[in-house]
Amino acid sequence: MVPPPWSWRQEEIAHNTKESPPDLQLRRLRDEAATAISELESAVSALPPHLLALCALCVGSAGTISARCIYRRYWKRISSAEWVTPDILKRRRWIKGYVTSVGDADNFRLYHMPGLGWRWPLKFRLVPARKDLREQTIHIRLAGVDAPEAAHFGNSAQPFAEESLSWLKGQIEGQTVYCQLIRKDQYGRIVSQVHLKPRFLPGFLVAGRNLSLEMLRAGWAETYEQAGAEYGRWGSAEFLRLQAEAQANRRGIWKYGLDLESAADYKRRHAAAGTSKMAKKTVKLTVATPPVQDDASRIGQIRRLLVRVWR
């Protein structure tokens, strides 16, 4: 016997309105969440007011401390080398910055750029003009290398000093670099492992090329082997290998061979010459200074003169 048409319609509606298992599970989760929220509200309303105030104070303090730590770590600028604390050097912190100027072939000035807001489309922080950068940059010294010395304090420059400086300017001046701060040297500069900006991926994901190694590879510096040398994870062997490779191929400062006065020997020679000049000046001053008579000798001379006049 064929059922009437209206029964077919009722069965179709019942079939369409029947919930599937995922819908039932979602509804069950919603009910459980609503029950948990209502129980929590009941428990909170049952607490004494002073306890609620104490909990709110603790939560607010924890939030303030967390926000301050995040600001100091990711948003606060390091204005100059004087603001680099021993704790920062101990942790060998990485920072990102803009190279404002290159003063010598192995050091430069860096404007620290922490956090966001330095690039489009979220650019709301700007690097000041050069005239406004006084006491706003960190003096960075490249770790592990020593470049030819430029003319300083009346001393002549080393060979290839200008070419080495020009190479470094072409690599980093006006560019963004990443620096791992290691220690402070005797001149107040921050010795750092410097990495160039990666070509494609962000700097916090991958490290770019190491600037000290690139300089050695190009032949515009030599390995720094004095006390306190820092070579990072590569070690001195890799630095010396790249220097030997540049020497073998006569690159950069090795163009005319290996008979070249190192930057360290240049500094020692001029330091010794300056010391000898100071010693000569001291001797001349000592010889030219007349003997100073004390009060007793002057009184004796006056007494003898009076005796002669009285006689």
Query: Could you give the residue numbers annotated as active site?
Result: 141, 149, 189
- Long-range Cβ pairs for the range 77-82 (8 Å, 24+): 77/112, 77/113, 77/114, 78/112, 78/114, 78/138, 79/112, 79/135, 79/136, 80/135, 80/136, 80/137, 80/138, 80/139, 81/138, 81/139, 81/184, 81/188, 81/189, 81/190, 82/188
Nearest to 197 by CA among 184, 179, 181, 220: 179
- Separation of alpha carbons 77 and 71, rounded Å: 10
Nearest to 164 by CA among 108, 215, 100, 231: 215
User: Looking at this protein, which amino acid is placed at residue 116?
Assistant: L
> CA distances (Å), 234 to each of 26, 144, 150, 210, 239, in order?
55, 10, 28, 10, 8
Do residues 93 and 181 make contact, with C-beta atoms less than 8 angstroms apart? yes
Give phi and psi for 110, each to the nearest 5: -125, 130
Task: Report CA Rg, the chain.
Answer: 37
Do residues 145 and 263 make contact, with C-beta atoms less than 8 angstroms apart? no
- Separation of alpha carbons 216 and 194, rounded Å: 13
- Separation of alpha carbons 182 and 92, rounded Å: 5
176 beta partners: 98
Do residues 112 and 125 make contact, with C-beta atoms less than 8 angstroms apart? no
| DSSP label of 77 | -
